[in-house]
Amino acid sequence: MKTQVLIIGGGPSGLLLSQLLYTRGIDSVVLERKTKDYVLGRIRAGVLERGLLDLMREAGVSERMEKEGYLHDGTLISYDDEIFRVDFSEHTGHAVMVYGQTEVTRDLYEAREKANGKIEFNVENVVIHDADSDAPYVTYDVAGEARRVDCDFIAGCDGFHGVSRQAIPLDVRKEYEKIYPFGWLGILSETPPVNHELIYANSSRGFALCSMRNENLSRYYIQCSLSDSPEDWTDDAFWEELKRRIPADQAEKLVTGPSIEKSIAPLRSFVTEPMRWGRLFLCGDAAHIVPPTGAKGLNTAASDVHYLYNGLRDYYENNSSEGIDTYSQKALARVWKAERFSWWFSSLMHRFPDQTDFDYKIQLAELEFLRENKAAQQAMAENYVGLPY
């Protein structure tokens, strides 16, 4: 088999890139190591930046998002029983969309299937060959059958544990990492959200986040120990702890119910450089990870897709390699700004195990400064709705 762009990874970034390329008549093949149902079963964040909204529209997959998503033009931040609002629209003229990553992925699968896009599932033993040459190819197995795809370019959208980053020689790539000393215990429940906007809470007991998927589906998180497991927490214990961490007036309104999903996510900041080696390009989690505070993971992957898609367009439509030659530089410049914001917001909202009284007072002063200072709120709002591409 031969294609123009071989995409490793059938998650939202790989599918979005494939769909965008399709709109310009550029052929692609997507390889996914799991099944479609498995990919759609993964529970992820659901706050979409303005840039990702525009990409969904450009890809022709925004109809359901526009109809069912929730535009949010602000967010609430609390510390102990204090609470204040940061108005995104006032400070930036933009909003974010609450629309689950699973739904983004579902819409993209539907579009690729409608266009008869080539997606291979259950692929195993993926190996990237000759990425630093003009004739790269990828070999893999499906149900014990060996297969090969020759291509012009390879897009590695296969996540942190995928093969793409590992294909770049160790003497070429440099990795940067920060591990946070806590995790997020999250539950999904068929209950109405406690508030129509997200609440980020810093309490003496640790961080909490009140989020939602729709008017009858809520997503809640609390900071927990890395040694915890979901089985350590009953639903009742989770709800009681959440109530202790959010302002009393919000806790009184909280509607509880059985969890339909419960998991713990560790927090990590990670970046690898460069994001291009020869004709191999890394996108999304294959190249970088952010803590979930501020929901930058999918959105940062989307910005990678933007730069790579436009670089490939320029190559095929104008016979220019400038876009692909500058891909890594452009993508990383924005990635590091997203890393900075996620690190700042995580540092502001969580209680750290080794936090001193001095550290707490500084954190409190930062929160109060954000509450009182319009310029600080504008800086936060600009980062939250998404820096321009």
Q: Is 99 a catalytic residue?
A: no
Residues 110, 360: Cα–Cα separation, whole Å: 48
CATH 3.30.9.10 fits 180-266+351-385, yes or no: yes
Instruction: Determine how β-strand 276-277 pairs with β-strand 280-282.
Output: antiparallel
pLDDT at 43: 67
The confidence score (pLDDT) of residue 38 equals: 87
- Distance, C-alpha 83 to centroid of its chain: 26
Q: What is the pLDDT of residue 90?
A: 97
Distance CA(263)–CA(42), nearest Å, equals 11
pLDDT at 214: 85
Per-residue pLDDT of the chain (389 residues; tens, 9 = 90+): 999 999 999 999 999 999 999 999 999 999 999 998 989 887 677 899 999 999 999 999 999 999 999 999 999 999 988 999 999 999 999 999 999 899 999 999 999 999 999 999 999 999 999 999 999 999 999 999 999 999 999 999 999 999 999 999 999 999 999 999 999 999 999 999 999 999 999 999 999 999 998 889 999 999 999 999 999 999 999 999 999 999 999 999 999 999 999 999 999 999 999 999 999 999 999 999 999 999 999 999 999 999 999 999 999 999 999 999 999 999 999 999 999 999 999 999 999 999 999 999 999 999 999 999 999 999 999 999 999 99
Lookup: tokens for 5: 């762009």
**Cα atoms in the 13 Å half-sphere on the side-chain side of 239:** 16
* Neighbour count for residue 188 (Cβ, 10 Å): 18
CB atoms within 10 A of CB 162: 20
Name the active-site residue from 91, 94, 288, 296: 296
Which residue out of 12, 22, 70, 72 is catalytically annotated? 72
What is the C-alpha to C-alpha distance for residues 66 and 299, in angstroms, rounded to an integer?
17
Q: Do domains 2-72+97-178+268-348 and 180-266+351-385 have the same CATH topology?
A: no
Hey, which residues does 208 pair with through a beta bridge?
201, 222
Query: Which of 180, 186, 193, 153 has its CA nearest to residue 313?
Result: 153
Task: Return the CATH class of domain 2-72+97-178+268-348.
Answer: alpha beta
296 labelled catalytic: yes
> In whole angstroms, what is the distance from residue 43 CA to residue 192 CA?
18
Q: In sequence order, what are the residues at sequence separation of 6 or more whose Cβ sits closer than 8 angstroms to the Cβ of residue 33?
A: 122, 123, 124, 126, 158
- Indicate the pTM of the whole model: 0.95
Would residue 221 show up in a list of annotated catalytic residues for this protein?
Answer: no
* pLDDT on residue 46: 84
Active site includes 327?
no
List 70, 137, 292, 309, catalytic entry: 292
Instruction: Give the CA count within 13 Å in the CB-facing half-sphere of 2.
Output: 2
- What does the pLDDT read at residue 190? 96
Segments making up each domain of the chain, as ranges = 2-72+97-178+268-348, 180-266+351-385
Give the three-class secondary structure for 49. Answer: coil
**Catalytic residue list contains 200:** yes
At residue 351, the pLDDT reads 96
Active-site residue, from 200, 309, 315, 316: 200
Q: In the prediction, which pLDDT does 196 show?
A: 93
Per-residue pLDDT tens digits for 272-310: 999 999 999 999 999 999 999 999 999 999 999 999 999
**Residue entry with tokens 């200072």:** 373
Angle at 264 between CA 260 and CA 266, to 5 degrees: 155
**CA distance readout (Å), 301 to 214, 215, 288, 297, 389:** 24, 27, 9, 6, 12
Distance CA 68, CA 100 (A): 10
What are the strands of the beta sheet with 96-98, ordered from one edge?
A: 47-48, 96-98, 70-72
